[in-house]
Amino acid sequence: MDGLRAIAKSQVWMLRNNIARIKEEPMLKVSFILAFMCLFWIGALILFHRGFRFLNRFPFVGSILMDETIYLFFAALFVMLALSSVIVCYVTFYTSREVDFLFSKPIQDTVIFFYRFFQSVFFSSWAFLFLGVPFIIAYAIIKQVPFWFYVTIPFYFIPFLILPTALAALIILIFMSFLDFQKMKYVIIAIVLAVLAGIYWAYKINIRPAFSARTEIDFVMNELLQHLRFLRHPLFPGCWISRSIICSSVSRFRDAAFYFMSFAITTLFVLQIDWFIAQRAFFSGWAASRGGRKDRRYPVEKGIINRMAQMIAFLPRSTLAMVIKDIKIFLRDPGQWSQFLIYFSILGIYIFNLRNIPTEAVNPFWRVSITFLNLMATLLVLASLTVRFLFPLMSLEGNKIWVLGLAPITFRRLIFQKFVINLLGILLMSESLIYATNVILETSRSMTYVSCGIAGLASFGLVGLSIGLGSIYPNFKEDNTAKIVSGFGGTLNLIIALFYSIAMIGAFAAPVYSYEVQGSIPLRTFRSMKAIAWIITVAATVVVGVAPVLLGYRRLEQMEY
């Protein structure tokens, strides 16, 4: 196929260059990052192993609960991959400058399509793969499967990661064939909201009543397992992989091969449909998207954003101009605001379902555990938000960043502007979220103050970390935010953010559990441990939130453009 060999060679050269850049980095830094990644992966494996061991200890239903967890995991993973792939495919196929460059070369449309398709597979699934592998290994350890089962794990994930992206690409190709480019973003919003509403409806009608039941455990489990039966529907692709893994774990080779081949053949069939439609619709959809953009004009002094900017007119004119620019770039990028919409939709579902948690529990262990789990969920949401949306901010300045050297704004002010504006937004969101969830959970006043304080410090640290690392590892040649985040700096940002969030929770969880749950320490020791925890978290926040910003500023000042 025309152009396939050239694209393959270019990717090999790019891989060699990336490896060469890593070799040029200090060995201490590379070893530190690799150690962090290994520790995170091992920690996830230990966490999943303990969870499966806890389920397996239930008499009579332990093995059933483990299998239902597999069904639930792959069902949720399939839906999340499909949703993220719809957005990533739309951005990767139609809004990237690289596609414009490739269409100017003598390369077949299908070659360009599948080249961008497999990039979309990687961008939308690398994080899921990083967590999915330790999940399956933990399940295999508890099940005590034979050695050959571990060898087959990669073969399960390859088609499972491709099929959601293939379905998403099919949806995008079909809609782009009939709709205007500017209307496509509204279709994406409708698809995402419809899927999320369907998930919430299924949970509210079928699953939540089983959790809300106040009867004996056997009745609750019977109700819950019955309502989770839809995850095993024979027409749902996520069910096939789950059944293949479960059958393999008990040496039912024929059934395992049948379900795996069903999934693999379905994946190949959808890819064949993608190839057929891409031949006829990919180029025309891309051309229509470029034609629609020419008629789109953005007045300089009109529009809602410019009117709202009058509320912050007290800022210096250069800073105000950069703030308005960042907001407009965000709103004009479907890959940014659509994923932001998904985040807030999931947050809304989470907050609404907090009402179903029994707040009248008198057991101190569960009361404290629910409080810290809610705080952990909030910090993880903040970590993912800052990595996904704040890390690419500096890279989105593009290869014309040298123009800022001619503008009346310094790199110091640029980084400070991005840090302060985004900190205010993240701080407002985090404090509102943590206060609202604590009110719903009827948390004690002292724990509410602690939670709000931790959320405030975490907002400062996570924003500084993302802005700083985004300045240290910028990618001015890329306009795809998913690709920017998937790079070395984005991965490092995610790992440090997760460890930082977990460390903040652990610093306060240890004294609270020791005093309120176990009663093993006196009140004076408890207060001293809390004071030490505050000192540790403040120091960690200064290191995580300030040091990357200073290093990022120096990096931008010393960079040659």
For the residues of 296-346, what is the DSSP string, one character each? ----SS-SHHHHHGGGGTTS-HHHHHHHHHHHHHHHH-HHHHHHHHHHHHH
pLDDT score of 268 = 93
pLDDT score of 463 = 92
Q: What is the mean pLDDT of residues 364-372?
A: 77
Q: Answer whether residue 20 shows pLDDT above 50.
A: yes
- Residue 538, exposed/middle/buried by CB under 10 A (0-12, 13-18, 19+)? middle
Q: pLDDT confidence of 215, banded at 50, 70, 90?
A: very low
Q: pLDDT confidence of 211, banded at 50, 70, 90?
A: very low
Q: How far is CA 4 from CA 112, 221, 287, in A?
A: 8, 53, 22
461 near 453, Cβ under 8 Å? no
Q: What is the mean pLDDT of residues 449-454?
A: 88
Q: pLDDT confidence of 436, banded at 50, 70, 90?
A: confident
C-alpha 272, offset from chain centre: 29
**Residue 541's closest CA among 438, 454, 472?**
454
Counted residue by residue, the chain has a size of 561
**Residue 237's closest CA among 84, 82, 65?**
82
pLDDT score of 460 = 93
**Residue 61's closest CA among 216, 207, 201, 189?**
216
**Residue 104's closest CA among 280, 347, 304, 290?**
290
Q: pLDDT confidence of 477, banded at 50, 70, 90?
A: confident
- Residue 408, exposed/middle/buried by CB under 10 A (0-12, 13-18, 19+)? exposed
Q: How far is CA 306 from CA 298, 314, 414, in A?
A: 11, 14, 20
Tokens of 521: 């320490």
Angstrom distance (rounded) from CA 472 to CA 550: 10
Q: Lowest mean pLDDT: which of 18-22, 84-88, 553-557?
A: 18-22
DSSP character at residue 517: I
Contacts of 342 (CB under 8 A, 6+ apart): 83, 84, 87, 192, 196
Q: Answer whether residue 294 shows pLDDT above 50.
A: no
More confident residue, 340 or 287: 287
Angstrom distance (rounded) from CA 189 to CA 405: 38
Beta-strand runs (E) in 171-249 = none
Instruction: Classify residue 3 as left (phi > 0), alpha (psi -120 to 50) or beta.
Output: left
pLDDT score of 541 = 92
Q: What is the mean pLDDT of residues 174-186?
A: 66
The backbone torsions φ and ψ at residue 390, rounded to the nearest 5 degrees and listed phi first, read -95, -35
Contacts of 107 (CB under 8 A, 6+ apart): 2, 3, 6, 7
Q: Lowest mean pLDDT: which of 202-211, 333-342, 400-409, 537-546?
A: 202-211
Tokens of 550: 């200073």
More confident residue, 467 or 9: 467
Beta-strand runs (E) in 80-200 = none
pLDDT score of 265 = 92
Q: Answer whether residue 177 shows pLDDT above 80.
A: no
pLDDT score of 271 = 92
Angstrom distance (rounded) from CA 48 to CA 301: 54
- Residue 439, exposed/middle/buried by CB under 10 A (0-12, 13-18, 19+)? exposed
102 near 12, Cβ under 8 Å? no
Residue-averaged pLDDT of the chain: 78
Angstrom distance (rounded) from CA 241 to CA 155: 10
The C-alpha angle with vertex 124 and arms to 484 and 399, in degrees rounded to 5, equals 20
Q: Is 34 helix (H, G, I), strand (E, B) or coil?
A: helix
User: What tens digit of pLDDT does each residue of 33-62 get?
Assistant: 778 778 878 888 888 888 888 888 877 777
Tokens of 282: 């990919």
Angstrom distance (rounded) from CA 181 to CA 497: 36
Q: Give the global pTM.
A: 0.66
More confident residue, 360 or 247: 247
- Residue 549: other Cβ atoms inside 10 A: 23
260 near 156, Cβ under 8 Å? yes
Helices (H), 404-561: 411-441, 445-472, 481-485, 488-512, 523-558
Among 124-133, 218-227, 309-318, the range of highest mean pLDDT: 124-133
Q: Whole-angstrom distance between the N-terminal and C-terminal Cα of the chain?
A: 37
More confident residue, 334 or 264: 264
Q: Answer whether residue 293 shows pLDDT above 70.
A: no
Angstrom distance (rounded) from CA 379 to CA 429: 11
Q: Answer whether residue 1 shows pLDDT above 70.
A: no
Amino acid at 230: F
Q: What is the mean pLDDT of residues 478-507?
A: 81
**Residue 139's closest CA among 263, 259, 54, 264?**
54
Q: What is the mean pLDDT of residues 339-360?
A: 65
Instruction: Classify residue 180 as left (phi > 0), alpha (psi -120 to 50) or beta.
Output: beta
Q: Answer whether residue 302 shows pLDDT above 80.
A: no
DSSP character at residue 389: I
Q: Answer whether residue 269 shows pLDDT above 90.
A: yes
Q: Lowest mean pLDDT: which of 199-203, 346-350, 393-397?
A: 199-203
Angstrom distance (rounded) from CA 520 to CA 526: 10
Q: pLDDT confidence of 283, banded at 50, 70, 90?
A: confident
- Residue 161, exposed/middle/buried by CB under 10 A (0-12, 13-18, 19+)? buried
Q: Lowest mean pLDDT: which of 237-246, 273-282, 295-304, 375-384?
A: 295-304
The C-alpha angle with vertex 92 and arms to 326 and 90, in degrees rounded to 5, equals 85
